[in-house]
Amino acid sequence: MSTVTSSTEPSAVPSVGGGLSGLSRGRSVTNSIMTVVVYAAFLLALVPLAWILWTVLSRGYGLLMDQNWWLTSQRGITPRRVGGGAYHAILGTLVQAAVCALIAVPIAVFTAIYLVEYGRGKLARAVSFMVDILTGIPSIVAALFIYAVWVTTFGFQRVGFAVSLALVMLMIPVVVRSTEEMLKLVPNELREASYALGVPKWKTIARIVIPTALSGIITGVLLGLARVMGETAPLLILGPYSASINTSLVDGPMAALPTMIKDNFGQALQPATDRLWASALTLILLVLLLNGAGRVVARFSAVR
Amino acid sequence: MTSITGHSEADAGPSGDMAATGRVGDRIFSALATGSGVFVVTLIGLVAAFLLAQAVPSLMDNKASFLTSREWQVSAGDLRFGIADLLWVTVISSVIAMAIAVPVAIGVALFLTQYAPRRLARPFASLIDLLAAVPSIVYGIWGYFVLRDFVQPVQSFVESALGWFPLFAPLTVSGTIFLASIVLAIMILPIITAISREVFDQTPAAHKEAALALGATRWEMVRTAVLPFGKPGVISASMLGLGRALGETIAVTLLLSVTRGTFSWSAFAGGETFASRIANGSAEFDTPLKTGAYIAAGLVLFLLTFAVNAVARIVIERRKAFSE
């Protein structure tokens, strides 16, 4: 592999003797142009990343330095006024994501176990196909579905728990896929050794296969959490914003960071704009933290 | 995401069927696993069923043609709504996003797999993956407050040069489809890159070495060995990116100016996509009939993304059939 990628470019100078290394000018020019194009594509892709991170960081860090940002809510703070914090929104985001994970992770892990350890034939193909479809389902469609069930059919209110349910649909495919990849990496010899000792299949999976793949599963959960925390569409449909702290998932509107951003987006006043960027930075930090944690777990404890 | 190019589950993995002894533990465990699998399959069916069931009453009451009307009048008693302009804005914004993102993503994937120094390829790839971690609402506010001022001059230039062409007809709208498309392109770039990278990486070393041994330059090696091998993967990746762009909600909602009652074929018009129309309407979900109109739009979006994702999946499945 490395021999291919590190191979030196054939000389661009046409050899006098007409040897094998002779390369026409046109071909070498094309090669150089394409090399530049490929490098440029990569650099081009980095521009928005750096630009976005810089924008949010430079405009948002001010408010984050104030400890009130982390400890107070926006209760009673009008768009005109400076002050208040994001505690209510951070709390809402964390609680909704945690409840989502509690529901999604068992379903997803068992689905992955089914696909790798049990699934054969038509049903397995259907499950695998549907997980792919679930991966591609727009978050607003998932939210509309939960709305159709939770609000229209059962007549419940738009509350935090409904948001969690919509997030479950978005988290399941992420965790299924990463768990599935990890379970496949578990060497067959481990399973066979366990069977040979007379250990039943379920115990082999629960005590041998899952622990071996655990770090990969945790990585998948963390990446899944990072994804659902940034989702806004389910909140628009199911989770109205509230400026006050609400710890209840089943009673009253519950704030979340994306809706806090959305709420401040509508205001043209400077204090609100400052809060807009500060809450965006808070959300990015949260998501990147989970992402980073996922990668660290993946790196330090890969399946051996 | 990585799974798309993975091996199919049915033919891999140990069987251990003999170890499933029929003991209580085994039966419970197997039931839980199978049950979860069945749940996932039913879930998709339930989504379609619930959306359909709640869209139908509104569709029956609709006095305009659902597929061809440009109206969106959903107040009680006089339902007149259609998806013609939603479909156009959704499709054209995603297609422009693809036109921008796919070539760049192929370039980035080639860079990461064929050009970048081996040692740096992984960290570089993580950087691109970071783009996927940025929440879509952050893309939205960045596009609105920062990028818009930079896109404006480009827009005026294209308008003055190619304004005679309907797609580039000049209009005075601040949040244009073009702007939304650029932001969408950035959002789907990491998805297309990740999967393309994976398939380019799987190009058999023998193919590449053969090309080089025949005297190919690096680009000729890429063109004759890597790209043909990766083509189905890139197509599939692009479809997945397209599916993502079609359904993207909040960034598009923040970026696009809502211009009801006017319509233009121009990419410099405002408008609403399926997702942004639903998001903009979410505050007025009060009566079932009204909500049903939005759910009908959501159902079309669901079918659209379902079709696109299914095609992506089929393309990659066929590649697997040939490459093994």
Q: Kindly write down the DSSP assignment for every residue of A255-290, as one continuous string.
A: --HHHHHHHHHT--SHHHHHHHHHHHHHHHHHHHHH
Annotated domain spans of chain B: 80-323
Please work out, in degrees rounded to the nearest 5, the angle formed at the alpha carbon of residue B168 by the alpha carbons of B164 and B174: 130
Residue B109 has pLDDT above 90, yes or no: yes
Token look-up 């176990």 returns A113
Tokens of A105: 């992770």
Instruction: Tell me the pLDDT tens digit for each residue of B10-42.
Output: 444 444 555 556 678 888 888 999 999 999 999
The whole-angstrom separation of Cα A228 and Cα A216 is 18
Distance from CA of A109 to the nearest CA of B (A): 8
The interaxial angle of helices A210-229 and A87-113, nearest 10 deg, is: 140
Tokens of A91: 């709390």
Tell which CATH classification among 3.40.50.720, 1.10.3720.10, 1.10.486.10, 3.30.428.10 matches the domain A87-300: 1.10.3720.10
Tokens of A244: 């006050």
pLDDT along chain A (304 residues), means of 10: 43 45 82 94 95 95 90 85 89 95 96 90 90 92 94 89 95 93 90 91 90 88 91 92 88 92 88 93 94 84 55
Nearest to A145 among B20, B51, B142 (CB): B51
Alpha-carbon distance values, A240 to A170, A229, A233, B142 (Å): 19, 16, 11, 23
What are the backbone angles phi and psi of residue B81, rounded to the nearest 5°? -145, 150
Report yes or no: B29 and A206 within 8 Å, Cβ to Cβ: yes
CB hemisphere CA count around B69 (13 angstroms) = 14
DSSP secondary-structure letter at A58? H
Residue B319 has pLDDT above 90, yes or no: no
- Supply the pLDDT for residue A80: 80
Query: What is the phi-psi region of residue A252: left when phi exceeds 0, alpha when psi lies from -120 to 50, beta otherwise?
Result: left
- B146 contacts in chain A (CB < 8 Å): 51, 55
- Yes or no, beta carbons of A200 and B306 under 8 Å apart: no
Quick one: average pLDDT of B150-160?
89
- Yes or no, beta carbons of B10 and A181 under 8 Å apart: no
How confident is residue B2, by pLDDT bands cut at 50, 70 and 90?
very low
How buried is A60 (Cβ within 10 angstroms: 0-12 exposed, 13-18 middle, 19+ buried)? buried
- Supply the pLDDT for residue B13: 43
How many interface pairs between A and B have CB atoms less than 8 angstroms apart?
A: 333
E strands along A171-230, which residues? none
Instruction: Tell me the pLDDT tens digit for each residue of A100-123.
Output: 999 999 999 999 999 998 888 889
Report yes or no: A72 and A84 within 8 Å, Cβ to Cβ: yes
Token look-up 């994976």 returns B198
- B212 contacts in chain A (CB < 8 Å): 4, 7
- Supply the pLDDT for residue A24: 85
Instruction: Tell me the pLDDT tens digit for each residue of A152-202.
Output: 889 898 899 999 999 999 999 999 999 998 899 899 999 999 999 988 888
The whole-angstrom separation of Cα B247 and Cα B311 is 16
DSSP H or E run through B80: strand B80-81
Annotated domain spans of chain A: 1-65, 87-300
Chain A residue with minimal CA distance to B47? A145
- A7 contacts in chain B (CB < 8 Å): 212, 218
Mutate to test the interface with B, among A30, A52, A197 (most CBs of B within 10 A): A52
- Supply the pLDDT for residue A164: 96
Quick one: average pLDDT of B202-223?
92
Tokens of A263: 């709420």
Quick one: average pLDDT of B183-203?
93
How confident is residue B7, by pLDDT bands cut at 50, 70 and 90?
very low
Q: What is the pTM of this model?
A: 0.89
- Supply the pLDDT for residue A236: 92
% of chain B beyond a pLDDT of 70: 91
Report yes or no: B304 and B213 within 8 Å, Cβ to Cβ: no
- Supply the pLDDT for residue A13: 45
Instruction: Provide the chain B residues 216-275 that lie in CB contact (below 8 A) with chain A.
Output: 217-220, 222, 240, 243-244, 246-250, 254, 275
Q: Spell out a b/e string for B244-261, using b for 16 or more CB atoms within 10 Å of the CB, else e.
A: bbbbbbbbbbbbbbebee
Question: DSSP H helical segments within B111-226, as ranges?
Answer: 118-133, 136-142, 148-162, 177-201, 205-213, 218-221
- CATH topology (fold) of B80-323: MetI-like fold (1.10.3720)
Quick one: average pLDDT of B81-94?
92
Average pLDDT, chain B: 87
- Supply the pLDDT for residue A142: 95
Choose from A247-261, B63-77, B310-324 the range with maximum mean pLDDT. Answer: A247-261
Distance from CA of A115 to the nearest CA of B (A): 6
- Yes or no, beta carbons of B34 and A114 under 8 Å apart: yes
